């Protein structure tokens, strides 16, 4: 495994944050200060069974009795050494198919949060460390099953196969909140290094090429408005995520990756139901390689519409239509297939989802869902290394048990 500068920074950040929590806890315990009362520790565990009739998702799901290689385990802690300062960190172990090497515990987020202004009208603060990207509605809480409307988030917006890119960044995030008479406006702006993990390298088909994929300075911003206590919510997100591939192959040269999405998010909430929709334009590409086969520049399109209905206090069902187009200039993928790059169906995916959740109690959640998918645009590369062997139309069942404490 290649150890990047980002990883060393993360290890240092994790050590600093966790060490700081321990020192503060120890000092306050000796002083019998009420600050110790602000210490909070929580954890969660989720285990899923994935069954598909064709193609594989998160392990060998199309063979035998399915795959149990979708596991999420996390633990977090936070403390307030001062009324304006919060120190918080979470460690996450997540296995999602593959050989299980991605299940190694990593720092999911670790921040020092300072609020320089906080009153009844407005809030202004900054987070320094590894912060969760404010991307769409669900990215900042996507790791905890209890905060997701379904076992899988809409894959056209919240890719699991390139999850590391959107998840978090190492740097600083400034946030502001203005409370109006009828609603609340929130704004976020962050700058830092993205997490260009092995999943991104596989998706770019650079895993077989000698070299290093390294994060570069990136930026993200979001404006969000919540009206009438959250009855209506709207958000606009934009980002510029960058990475550089330093090649070890003679003659290939180095290349730069860019990802520039715009995401429009809308949600309407009533007491027993919610209607949610998000639309994204995603410009992405590789440039600078001497071999033109590695370079590309495309604009993709993603959108979904989702209806959730709550009943019997602890139950919720969901129906969703989710659509992904990798290249707006080649929606069917026929030009992609004609070039010899792969099957046409690898360039799109239309997913109809039906889901059901039961909150057995505040600490236990059971969920099940069914997907009918036309296309393989978001299939994990690690589970399906040869796109020519995948099937265009396929079905998937998921069952999940989630615990929290």
Say whether 355 sits in a helix, a strand or coil: strand
Q: Whole-angstrom Cα distance, residue 4 to residue 20? A: 24
Whether residue 166 contacts residue 139, with contact meaning beta carbons closer than 8 Å, is answered with: yes
Beta carbons within 10 angstroms of residue 185's beta carbon? 15
Q: How many CA atoms lie within 13 A of 293 on its CB side?
A: 8
List, for residues 158-187, the tens digit of each pLDDT value. Answer: 998 888 888 899 999 999 999 999 999 999
Q: Whole-angstrom Cα distance, residue 69 to residue 57? A: 9
Whether residue 142 contacts residue 132, with contact meaning beta carbons closer than 8 Å, is answered with: no
**Both tokens of residue 389?**
């062997």
Tell me what pLDDT residue 4 has: 38
Say whether 15 sits in a helix, a strand or coil: helix
Tell me what pLDDT residue 100 has: 59
**Both tokens of residue 256?**
């730069």
Say whether 195 sits in a helix, a strand or coil: coil
For residue 262, report the phi and psi dihedrals to the nearest 5 degrees: -125, 125
Residues pairing with 173 in the sheet = 127, 190
What distances in angstroms separate CA 49 from CA 62, 71, 97, 98, 174, one per listed residue? 12, 9, 11, 15, 39
Kindly report the pTM of this predicted structure: 0.88
DSSP string, 74-134: EEEEEEEEETTEEEEEEEEEEEESTTSGGGS-EEEEEEEEEEEEESSSEEEEEEEEEEE--
Tell me what pLDDT residue 2 has: 34
- Name the residue with tokens 């099940």: 368
How many residues would you count in the chain?
405
- Name the residue with tokens 């009153």: 119
Q: Structural domains in the chain?
A: 5-404 (2.40.160.10)
DSSP string, 220-284: EEEEEEEEGGGTEEEEEEEEEEEEEEEE-STTT--EEEEEEEEEEEEEEE-SSEEEEEEEEEEEE
Per-residue pLDDT of the chain (405 residues; tens, 9 = 90+): 333 333 344 444 444 455 555 554 554 444 456 778 899 999 999 999 999 999 999 999 999 999 999 999 999 999 999 999 999 999 999 999 876 566 789 999 999 999 999 999 999 999 999 999 999 999 999 989 999 999 999 999 999 888 888 889 999 999 999 999 999 999 999 999 988 878 888 888 888 888 888 889 999 999 999 999 999 999 999 999 999 998 888 888 889 999 999 999 999 999 999 999 999 999 999 998 988 888 999 999 999 999 999 999 999 999 999 999 999 999 999 999 999 989 999 999 999 999 999 999 999 999 999 999 999 999 998 899 899 999 999 999 999 999 999
Angle at 32 between CA 28 and CA 111, to 5 degrees: 25
Tell me what pLDDT residue 291 has: 86
Close Cβ partners of 326 (under 8 Å, ≥ 6 residues apart):
298, 300, 333, 336, 346, 347, 348, 377
List, for residues 280-301, the tens digit of each pLDDT value. Answer: 999 999 998 988 888 999 999 9
**Furthest CA-CA distance within the chain:** 72
């Amino acid at each position: 495994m290649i150890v990047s500068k980002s990883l060393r920074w993360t290890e240092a950040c994790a050590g600093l944050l966790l060490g700081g929590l321990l020192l503060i806890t120890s000092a306050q315990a000796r002083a019998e200060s009420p600050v110790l009362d602000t210490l909070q520790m929580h954890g969660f565990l989720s285990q899923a069974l994935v069954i598909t009739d064709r193609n594989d998702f998160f392990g060998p799901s199309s063979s035998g009795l399915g795959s149990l290689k979708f596991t999420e385990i996390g633990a977090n802690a936070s403390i307030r050494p001062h009324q304006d300062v919060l120190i918080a960190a979470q460690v996450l172990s997540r296995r999602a198919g593959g050989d299980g090497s991605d299940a190694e515990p990593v720092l999911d987020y670790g921040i020092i949060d300072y609020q320089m202004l906080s009153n009844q009208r407005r809030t202004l603060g900054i987070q320094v460390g590894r912060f969760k990207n404010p991307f769409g509605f669900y990215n900042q809480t996507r790791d905890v099953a209890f905060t997701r409307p379904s076992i899988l988030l809409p894959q056209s917006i919240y890719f699991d196969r390139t999850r590391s890119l959107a998840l978090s960044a190492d740097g600083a995030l400034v946030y502001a909140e203005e409370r109006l008479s009828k609603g609340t406006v929130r704004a976020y702006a962050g700058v830092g290094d993205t997490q260009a993990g092995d999943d991104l390298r596989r998706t770019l088909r650079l895993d077989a090429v000698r070299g290093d994929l390294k994060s570069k300075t990136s930026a993200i911003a979001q404006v969000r408005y919540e009206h009438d206590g959250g009855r209506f919510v709207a958000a606009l997100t934009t980002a510029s995520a960058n990475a550089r591939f330093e090649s070890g192959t003679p003659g290939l040269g180095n290349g730069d990756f860019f990802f520039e999405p715009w995401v429009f998010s809308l949600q309407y909430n009533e007491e027993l139901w919610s209607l949610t929709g998000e639309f994204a334009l995603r410009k992405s590409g590789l440039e600078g390689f001497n071999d033109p086969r590695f370079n590309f520049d495309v604009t993709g399109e993603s959108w979904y519409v989702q209806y959730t209905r709550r009943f019997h206090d602890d139950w919720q069902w969901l129906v969703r239509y989710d659509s992904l187009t990798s290249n707006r200039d080649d929606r069917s993928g026929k030009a992609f297939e004609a070039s010899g790059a792969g099957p046409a169906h690898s360039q799109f995916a239309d997913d109809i989802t039906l889901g059901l959740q039961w909150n057995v109690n505040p600490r236990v959640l059971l969920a099940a869902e069914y997907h009918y998918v036309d296309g393989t645009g978001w299939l994990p590369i690690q589970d399906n290394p040869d796109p020519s062997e995948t099937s265009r139309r396929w079905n998937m069942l998921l069952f999940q048990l989630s615990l929290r404490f």
